[in-house]
Amino acid sequence: MYQVIIVGGGLAGACLALALSQHAQGSITTAVIEALPPARQTPAEDDRAIALAHHSCQQLAQLGLWPLVAAKATAIRSIQISETHCSALATLRAEAYRLPALGQVVAIQTLRQQLARLLTTAAGVTVYAPAEVVSVTPQADQVLVQLQPGEVLSGQLLVIAAGSRSPLSQQLALRYHCWDHHQHAIIATLSTEEPHRGRAFERFTREGSLAILPKTVEQCALVWCQPQERQQQLLALTDQAFLQQVQQVFGWRLGALSQLQRRQSYPLSTQVAVRPVGHRWVAVGNAAQTLHPIAGQGFNLALRDVLQLAECLISAWSQQQAIGTYQLLDDYRQRRQGDQQRMVRFTQGLLQLFGSQQPLSKVSRQVGLHLFDSTPFVKNRVASWLLGTPAW
C-alpha cells in the first residue's frame, strides 16, 4: 500500500510528489500515475509558456527544479498595463521592490520534462506512465485506484491532480462553482523588431486581454483572450494577417511584430471546487481551481497549495498520525482558503472591470489606472499578489 497516490503528473501533481520525497526523504511512499507516456510527458502540441512569480521561482529552487530550467527562463523586469482607446498606463517595475525580476517566463514543456526527470530518481516515488486511472474508491481506511492496464493500487490518501474536467472528480461527487467566459486564449510565439528587455505587457481590449511576455532573448509569447467566434476567425487568418491584427491592438511598443510561430487555442473557464477535500482524498491544481489566465496565477497558486499540503502531510507523518483523514485534509483546506479566495476574486475582478463596456466603467478604469500607478499602497498590494508573496 502507498501512503499517497497522486493521479496526474502535470505541474501540480509532480511538484507535490517532489516536495513529499524531499521533505520526508523517501519515507512517504508515493505513486504518481500519469496518462501520458514518459517520452513525451507533455503533449507535443502544448507550446504554452507560463509566467512564474518571483516567489514561485524561489520555491521551485528549493525543490531542486529551478537550476534545471533557469537557463531556459526569461526574466520579467517590468509589467506595463494599458487599455486600448485609453491614454492611462500603469507600470510595475522589479527595481521598485529591490528585485532583479518580478518573475520568469518558462515553457510548460521545459518544466514538465525536468520534473519528470527529477521524479525518476526521487526517493520513495514510483511513477506509473503511461497509465490511466479509470476509477477511484475511497474506503474507511484506504482508497482503491483502478488503472487502465488492469492493476489496482491502494493508498492512504488520494490526490486528484488530473486537471480540469476530470471524470474522476464526478466519481468523488466533487462539485464546482463554474463561470464560462465564452472565450478562448490564442497563444503563439513571435519576434519583435525592438528587443523586449524583459518588458511584459498586459493590454485590455473591448473583447478580451492581450498579453505579450518575454519568452527568449529574441522572442515573445502572445496570450490573446478572445470570444469564441472571433477566435475562430483569427485562427483562420494567414500569419501575416494575424500579425497585423495583433499589431493593431498592441501597437508599436516593440516595433514591428514578425515571424509568427504556430497558433494554438485553449478554451477558458473558471472552475472552483466547492470543497476540494473529502475523506481520504484531496484535489489540487486545476482539479481544485482552474483560473482564467488574465493574471497568470493558475500554477503560482497551485504551487503554494501543494507545498502547504506537503507540509501538512509531513507534519502528520512525523507525529505518526494517519495522513488521509478528513480532519487533516480540512485543516489544509482552511489554511489555503484565504489565498485561494483572494486569487479567484482578483482574477474575476480583473475580468469584470476590464470586460465591462459601460461608459462609467470606462471612465473608472482610466481613473483607476492613473490611481493605481500613483498610489503605492494599492500598487504594492497588487505587486505582492503578482510576486507570489501575498501580504494581507
Ligand X SMILES: Cc1cc2nc3c(=O)[nH]c(=O)nc-3n(C[C@H](O)[C@H](O)[C@H](O)COP(=O)(O)OP(=O)(O)OC[C@H]3O[C@@H](n4cnc5c(N)ncnc54)[C@H](O)[C@@H]3O)c2cc1C
Phi and psi at 264, nearest 5°, equal: -135, 160
User: CA dihedral in degrees (28, 29, 30, 31; nearest 10)?
Assistant: -170
Residue type, 220: C
The yes or no reply on residue 278 touching ligand X (CB under 6 A) is no
Outline where the chain has alpha helix (H).
11-23, 54-62, 66-69, 108-120, 167-171, 228-236, 239-250, 298-318, 326-355, 359-374, 376-387
In the complex with ligand X, the residue whose CB is nearer, 292 or 365, is: 292
The yes or no reply on residue 82 touching ligand X (CB under 6 A) is no
* Whole-number Å distance between alpha carbons of 25 and 18: 10
The yes or no reply on residue 32 touching ligand X (CB under 6 A) is no
Question: Least CB distance from residue 321 to ligand X, whole Å?
Answer: 27
In the complex with ligand X, the residue whose CB is nearer, 185 or 316, is: 185
Q: Which residues contact 203 (CB under 8 A, 6 or more apart)?
A: 81, 82, 83, 84, 209, 210, 211, 212, 249, 250, 251
The yes or no reply on residue 297 touching ligand X (CB under 6 A) is yes
The yes or no reply on residue 124 touching ligand X (CB under 6 A) is no
Question: Least CB distance from residue 117 to ligand X, whole Å?
Answer: 15
The yes or no reply on residue 330 touching ligand X (CB under 6 A) is no
In the complex with ligand X, the residue whose CB is nearer, 189 or 317, is: 189
Q: Which of 27, 35, 216, 362 binds ligand X (CB under 6 A)?
A: 35
- Residues between 130 and 159 with contacts to ligand X, criterion CB under 6 A: 132-133
97 near 381, Cβ under 8 Å? Answer: no
- Work out the angle at residue 299's Cα, subtended by the Cα atoms of residues 370 and 65, and round it to the nearest 5 degrees: 120
Whether the link from the prior residue into 100 is cis, omega within 30° of 0, is: no
5 near 128, Cβ under 8 Å? Answer: no
The yes or no reply on residue 13 touching ligand X (CB under 6 A) is yes
* Whole-number Å distance between alpha carbons of 173 and 129: 26
The yes or no reply on residue 6 touching ligand X (CB under 6 A) is no
Q: Which of 296, 316, 323, 336 binds ligand X (CB under 6 A)?
A: 296
In the complex with ligand X, the residue whose CB is nearer, 23 or 112, is: 112
Q: Which of 33, 282, 283, 369 binds ligand X (CB under 6 A)?
A: 33
Single out the residue of 171, 125, 132, 169 nearest to residue 151, CA to CA. 132
Q: Which of 4, 5, 7, 246 binds ligand X (CB under 6 A)?
A: 7
Q: Which stretch binds ligand X (CB under 6 A): 87-95, 169-177, 241-249, 290-298?
A: 290-298
In the complex with ligand X, the residue whose CB is nearer, 213 or 316, is: 213
Question: Least CB distance from residue 90 to ligand X, whole Å?
Answer: 19
* Whole-number Å distance between alpha carbons of 363 and 87: 11
Complete DSSP assignment for 149-176: TS-EEEEEEEEE-S-TT-HHHHHTT--E
SS (H, E, C) 252-275: CECECEECCCCCEEEEEEEEEECC
Interaction pattern, residues 193-222, with ligand X; x per rule: CB under 6 A: ------------------------------
The yes or no reply on residue 11 touching ligand X (CB under 6 A) is yes
In the complex with ligand X, the residue whose CB is nearer, 302 or 387, is: 302
The yes or no reply on residue 10 touching ligand X (CB under 6 A) is yes
Q: Which stretches of the chain bind ligand X, using CB under 6 A? A: 7-13, 33-36, 48, 50-51, 132-133, 161-163, 166, 168, 185, 187, 223, 266, 285-286, 293, 296-300, 302
